[in-house]
Structure 1
Amino acid sequence: MIQRTISALIALPLLFFVLFKGGALLFLAAYLLSIIGQYEFYKTFSRKYYVLNWAGYLMTTAWFGGLYKDMPQDYYTFLIAVFLFLLLTLTMLYKKNIMIGSMVTFIGFFYIAFSLSHIIMIWKLDSNFFIWYPFVIAFVTDTFAYFTGKLIGSTPLIPSVSPKKTVEGSLGGVIACLIFSYAYASIFNPSFQLYAVFLGLIGSILSQVGDLIASKIKRIFNIKDFGKIMPGHGGVLDRFDSIIITMPLVYYFIVIFNFLI
């Protein structure tokens, strides 16, 4: 508990500083978190499969490089096509059967690096209001799901994936997120109030799905944490399993919201 508290006291001010500062520091932070997260993901799957981790890191570097240089949309389409072609070619050339490993390499990029890169896309929209949203959704949902489950939880949610999670806890997280999302919009962006309720609902549900996905992977490979970079908290994927899902959601919600108004 002490380790967990100390880690949080160090990590939270860093997070606030990076998000307030933005720019190159945000790019660097998102890139490093992506690489570390991919390392944890690939290391886990390497227990059973031959993963082409170097190809995943290369793709992530090219992807973030494009974002930093404001490359046109066609660059990213071309990049994904080249990445797929490279993996398919290597799958055929390797003597070992690396089909599943190639799929893991591809999924690792999209699941982690592609998802985390959306915080940069949100920042580029020049919206201080929205850049906090992925974290607000994930934090509120996780916190209130935990305490609601502790207080009144009795019905297992998906015991085969996460035995301690309950239906009551899950609903508590969703309801709290709806309230906080509406309150957050009411204070900082009143015109977004009604949309905030919908975003809070979808965001809270998907946040919990992200948590369950990570839990399922850990159960499959019989591990407690993905890494040890944050004492008491585990690795990047252990801390960002929910945020990985909420970042893309918030970005595309903004795009749709701007289109609607």
Structure 2
Amino acid sequence: MKTRIISAIVLLPLLIFILIKGGYYLAIFTFFCALIGINEFCNALKEYSSKQTKFLLFTMTFFQMLAVYKNEEKFTIAFIFILLFLQGAMVVLEKIKPFEAALSIFTFCYISISMSYIYLLSEEYPKFFWYVFIISMFTDTFAYFSGYFFGKHKLSPNLSPKKTIEGAIGGIVFCLLACYLYAHFYHQDMGYIIIPFAIIGSIVSQIGDIFASAFKRQMQIKDYGNLIPGHGGILDRADSIIFTASYVYITAMLFDNFNF
């Protein structure tokens, strides 16, 4: 616990500085987080992720991050199909198995694209940017405390035994309150849409958390890495943020294009 607290005290101010500064600080930060996350995920996959697949994912992540930094996010779909073609060719040449090819495409979407959405939100939809962290942090924190004090009914006993229904509800309630207050002061044009937005966001965040736990259980690992003392790896800290970033980005696009 002491190591965990020290890590938080040291790293939290740095994280806040990067998030506030944005721009190339955030672009570089999300790029390296994506690379580290891919490395952790590929290591967890063990025999289902070869060195050439990892190198290809690193390369595609570089181009994805470069594209969004240049405001050319439309290339994202092209990158997915390029990866699909290249991995398909590797399968045909019998260099990798079809399952590895499928997992590599999932990894690119799950980590690289989701991480790039964090930067895109800061540049294209700055008012929505902070919802990523409000939703994930308030949901995670208050789901934990609600479950600790009131939890009786298991939410997903086989995948994440410590998660409870009461904790999930507590996370949703406090996430809704936090989002409502933020919208009231900084994003009033959201109106009553903030209510379903926050509720769905909290659910998405918790799904991301449990999904990561389920994957670790399947791969029989405790943590994705040990980069952050007391916390594990990047993916151990960003599991809910990854899902939440994609959800918030999609919502921001809908809100902007359809004038909800």
- Give TM-score, length-normalised by structure 1: 0.94
What is the identity, as a one-letter code, of the residue corresponding to 1:62? F
State the match for 1:205 in structure 2: 203
Q: In 2, distance between residues paired with 1:88 and 1:249?
A: 29
Q: In 2, distance between residues paired with 1:26 and 1:67?
A: 12
1:97-121 Cα deviation digits (max 9, x unpaired)? 5111111111111101111110111
> Are the counterparts in 2 of residues 162 and 216 from structure 1 also a CA contact under 8 Å?
yes
Runs of 4+ in structure 1 off by over 3 angstroms are none
1:206-235 Cα deviation digits (max 9, x unpaired)? 000000110001111111110011111110
Q: What is the Cα-based RMSD across aligned positions, in Å? A: 1.4
State the match for 2:56 in structure 1: 55
Give yes or no for the alignment of 1:30 onto 2:23.
Answer: no
Q: In 2, distance between residues paired with 1:70 and 1:156?
A: 44
1:51-89 Cα deviation digits (max 9, x unpaired)? 31111111111111111223362x333322221110000
> Are the counterparts in 2 of residues 42 and 104 from structure 1 also a CA contact under 8 Å?
no
Q: In 2, distance between residues paired with 1:59 and 1:189?
A: 35
Q: In 2, distance between residues paired with 1:235 and 1:219?
A: 15
What is the identity, as a one-letter code, of the residue corresponding to 2:87? L
What is the identity, as a one-letter code, of the residue corresponding to 2:114? S
What is the identity, as a one-letter code, of the residue corresponding to 1:140? F
> Are the counterparts in 2 of residues 134 and 243 from structure 1 also a CA contact under 8 Å?
yes
Q: Which runs of 5+ in 1 are unaligned?
A: none
State the match for 1:79 in structure 2: 79
Residue 196 of structure 1: how far off its partner (Å): 1.6
Task: Report % sequence identity.
Answer: 39
Q: In 2, distance between residues paired with 1:232 and 1:50?
A: 27
Equivalences, count: 257
Q: In 2, distance between residues paired with 1:18 and 1:55?
A: 28
1:159-209 Cα deviation digits (max 9, x unpaired)? 000111111111111111111111111122222241221211011000000
User: Quick one: structure 1 residues 110 and 72, their matched pair in 2 at CA, closer, same or farther if it must change by over 3 Å?
Assistant: closer
- Match for residue 165 of structure 2 among 147, 164, 167: 167
